[in-house]
Amino acid sequence: MTWVLWGCGSLRFLRSRYLLLLGLLASGGLLVLCLLASVRFGAAEIGTAEVVGAFVGYDGSQEDLIVRTLRVPRALIAALVGASLGMAGAIMQGLTRNPMAEPGILGINAGAALAVVGAVFLFGASSLTTYALFAFVGGGLTAVAVYSLGSMGSGGMSPMKIVVAGAALTAFLSSMTTAILILNQRTLDEIRFWLAGSVAGRDLSLLLQVLPYMGVGLLLALALGRQITTLTLGEDVATGLGQRTAWVKGMAAVAVVLLAGSSVAIAGPIGFVGLVVPHLVRFFVGVDYRWILPYAAIVGAVLLVSADIGARLVIRPQELPVGVMTALVGAPFFIYLARWRVKR
């Protein structure tokens, strides 16, 4: 009887694993379709035949240049940024055990924004490459500051301390950014589109600058799936199972900084992706972060690429920053989530 029960349990495990793998492949297929749609649609009317011709019969025409130098890099950047934000949000919610946590809880967005605004105000920075450099440094330093503040006092670092430190530092940095923008109209004019979050106008050279950091963050996050799952059971339980919780938290924090910092560096502060995606994924996948993280990467990529397509089409031929589109989706979800938590 024991062997029969074990066999039935193993069969259910293999079946659920098969379904999860199948769902992952289906999500990947959906992402490919979204990428193709991103290359196909935009402000300029370019037919499917012209899109195909840009790859198989490039002749230097205006349509070919738009497809290869603008739309393809834009689609790839949107996918990678969405994947990074989705995974960073999942890690943050797992570490803090807070369903409303996202990369912004570390103050990365606020730190990156202040660094870029300060660069424009003090040094007259104007290129996206310079923005990316200052954004990455500013977001990384802010995350380090939040973890340092969250580790002070008795008991060391805790999820609640990190949340409070992140919220306080975000408010402080945001107020400084606002003060600079109020005092200097030129800085506001130059930086406001970046502050809304956008993947427009980014090229492959800019992507290649942050791709190593983004790639390391993605690989590190995937490697920590089992440890984060154990940590969500509680720190005492994880410690009792022999896990080095401080080491796991530190590595997870590094992954979040790399993922969110590189995303903000290349696309500006895009909100709500890291909040919404983990909840969508957990609804279908469950609580195992070995599956949550890869699903969050693909679903995050699908969400941001789709939002970018909508941003181009909603007021065509003009376009909205993709950060506005994600806010339209994420803000109602955040309100619903907050009300649900209060009711509980």
pLDDT in tens, 52-62: 777 777 677 77
Q: What is the mean pLDDT of residues 131-153?
A: 83
pLDDT for position 79:
95
Split at pLDDT 50, 70, 90, the class of 312 is: confident
* C-alpha gyration radius of the chain: 21
In Å, what is the CA distance from 83 to each residue of 198, 229, 237, 259?
15, 19, 30, 9
pLDDT at 210 over 50: yes
pLDDT for position 66:
82
Domains identified in the chain and CATH numbers: 27-39+61-343 (1.10.3470.10)
% of the chain at pLDDT higher than 70: 90
Neighbours of 200 (CB within 10 A): 19
CA atoms within 13 A on the CB side of 40: 11
At residue 186, the 3 state secondary structure works out as helix
Split at pLDDT 50, 70, 90, the class of 198 is: confident
Return the axis-axis angle of helices 159-183 and 185-195, rounded to nearest 10°. 140
Both structure tokens of 206: 């800019």
**Cis before residue 99, ω within 30 degrees of 0?**
no
Both structure tokens of 250: 């530190």
The pTM (predicted TM-score) of the whole model is: 0.86
Split at pLDDT 50, 70, 90, the class of 152 is: confident
Alpha carbon dihedral 188, 193, 196, 200, in 10-degree steps, equals -160
pLDDT in tens, 212-241: 889 999 999 999 999 998 888 777 777 777
Single-letter residue type at 283? F
Q: Which residue has the higher pLDDT, 267 or 9?
A: 267
Q: Which residue has the higher pLDDT, 98 or 279?
A: 279
pLDDT for position 344:
47
Neighbours of 75 (CB within 10 A): 22
State the chain's mean pLDDT as an integer.
82
Both structure tokens of 46: 């370019």
pLDDT for position 157:
65
Most confident option among 275-284, 312-321, 322-331: 275-284
- Residue 61 CB partners (closer than 8 Å, separation 6+): none
110 Rama class: left (phi>0) / alpha (psi -120 to 50) / beta: alpha
pLDDT for position 307:
92
Q: What is the mean pLDDT of residues 241-269?
A: 84
Q: What is the mean pLDDT of residues 243-272?
A: 85
At residue 195, the 3 state secondary structure works out as helix
Split at pLDDT 50, 70, 90, the class of 48 is: confident
pLDDT for position 291:
92
Q: Is residue 272 a contact partner of residue 327, using CB atoms and an 8 Å limit?
A: yes
Report d(CA 5, CA 46) in Å as an integer: 59
Report d(CA 193, CA 190) in Å as an integer: 8
pLDDT in tens, 11-44: 454 448 888 889 899 999 999 999 999 988 877 7
Q: Is residue 82 a contact partner of residue 88, using CB atoms and an 8 Å limit?
A: no
pLDDT for position 196:
78
Both structure tokens of 342: 């209060």
